[in-house]
Amino acid sequence: MISGFVKKYKNSSFTEYQVFSTAKISKPFDKKYIKLYSVMDRNEVKGVNVHELKEMMDNGEDYIIIDVREPDELEKCSLGGVNVPLGLIDKNTDQIPRDKPAVVLCRSGKRSYMAILFLQQEYEYENLYNLNGGIIAYARDIDKSMPLY
């Protein structure tokens, strides 16, 4: 039994659909396969919390932020970095360096998690870290002046 849903994804070259689920299956989309992962698979993705990210910022560490939200979401709030929307990530891997840590973020951490799984499996990235809780957690815990949406 599959639990979850499939939702049309706007302006996507990555896949025709954005997929979320708690089941582990493979389903063909645009000649690629999207794997839906259970909670047990979360250990495949390294993460940082917002306090760790803030410390990296304050210490001037060498890292990059990859924001996988849509451009209209960045207009509401942003932490800077490079914008590579999830739906276009497979066409923009040249913007994601392999030689330094990359903190991948979205609104809540779900799209960034999917992006990291995809990049690890399809392009063998090893330097990616999911921002746990996304920009919502950053606004809630670090910068309360940042608008929530």
The model's pLDDT over 61-95, given as tens digits with 9 standing for 90+, comes to 999 999 999 999 999 999 999 999 999 999 999 99
Q: What distance in Å separates the CA atoms of residue 139 and residue 143, rounded to the nearest whole number? A: 5
pLDDT-derived band at 129, boundaries 50, 70, 90: very high
31 confidence band (pLDDT: 50, 70, 90): very low
Distances (CA, A) of 114 to 18, 58, 103, 120, 143: 10, 28, 13, 10, 25
Looking at domain 44-141, which CATH architecture does it have? 3-Layer(aba) Sandwich (3.40)
**Residues noted as catalytic:** 106
Domain boundaries, the chain: 44-141
Other CB atoms closer than 10 Å to residue 100's CB: what's the count?
10
Burial class (CB in 10 A: 0-12, 13-18, 19+), 71: exposed
Reply yes or no on whether the pLDDT at 24 is more than 80.
Answer: no
For the chain, give the mean pLDDT.
82
Phi, psi of 129 (to 5 degrees): -130, 125
| CA–CA gap between residue 90 and residue 116 (Å, rounded) | 11
Cα angle 7, 130, 68 (rounded to 5 degrees) comes to 50
Residue 44: which pLDDT band, with cuts at 50, 70 and 90? Answer: confident
